[in-house]
Amino acid sequence: MDTFSYFFVLVSIVVGLALTHLLHGVGQRIQHPNRFDMYWVHLAWAAYVFEYVIAFWWFEYGYTRIGQWSFELYLFVVGYAIVLYLLSVILFPDDLREYSGFREYFYARRRWFFGLLAFCQIVDFADTFAKGSAHVGSMSDEYWFYNAGTFLLALVATRTGSPRFHGAFAILALVSQSGFILRNYILL
């Protein structure tokens, strides 16, 4: 087993748990549609995090070019995966009894969710730099703008409870990320 494969076993498990949690959350809502007050903004963020986790897994393949791994780099990549897992867990709690539905829950937990989302953008910048100068140079202006914009809007989202803002941000984030994935991974 090469170094990359060995180190990414744990990352694979954490990413798998994140996807499992998201899919289970959506599946529960499909199985019990009348038990939960669904909220489209919440579902848009669930789709966004699903895409983010999938893109993370694909993009982390860039670490195959790293010949010498350090324990610090390993902890960093595992930590990044853990933050993505936490985003998944925040979106779909085990119990909603304290809330009238997902709308109320979403706004009650927005500081945690968007704080972690902003933190993810910082971690993603660090991740890009950790892959080396050639990788940094290969990143388009779109990447830098997208991450910086997501970071700033996530900070605003922690402070505002405006449904209009959150709806617009959810649509913008999902469309932007989907477009980025299409342009950079599929339509090469």
Q: What is the pLDDT of residue 112?
A: 97
**Residue whose entry in the numeric block shows the structure tokens 């997902």:** 102
User: Would you list the domain boundaries of the chain?
Assistant: 3-186
Q: How much is the mean pLDDT over the chain?
A: 90
What confidence category does residue 83 fall into, taking pLDDT thresholds of 50, 70 and 90?
very high
Nearest 5°: the CA angle 172, 177, 180 is: 125
Tell me the backbone φ, ψ of residue 97, rounded to 5 degrees: -60, -25
How many Å is the maximal CA-CA distance in the chain? Answer: 53
* Higher-scoring residue by pLDDT: 51, 185: 51
Query: What is the mean predicted confidence (pLDDT) over 55-62?
Result: 84
Tell which residue, 156, 158, 153, 149, has the closest CA to residue 110.
158
**Residue whose entry in the numeric block shows the structure tokens 């790293």:** 66
Q: Are the beta carbons of 18 and 52 closer than 8 angstroms?
A: no
DSSP single-letter state for residue 38 = -
Residue 58 pLDDT > 80, yes or no? Answer: yes
Q: What is the pLDDT of residue 188?
A: 57
* Residues 101-149: tens digit of each pLDDT: 899 999 999 999 999 999 999 999 998 888 878 878 878 788 899 999 9
Query: What is the mean predicted confidence (pLDDT) over 46-60?
Result: 92
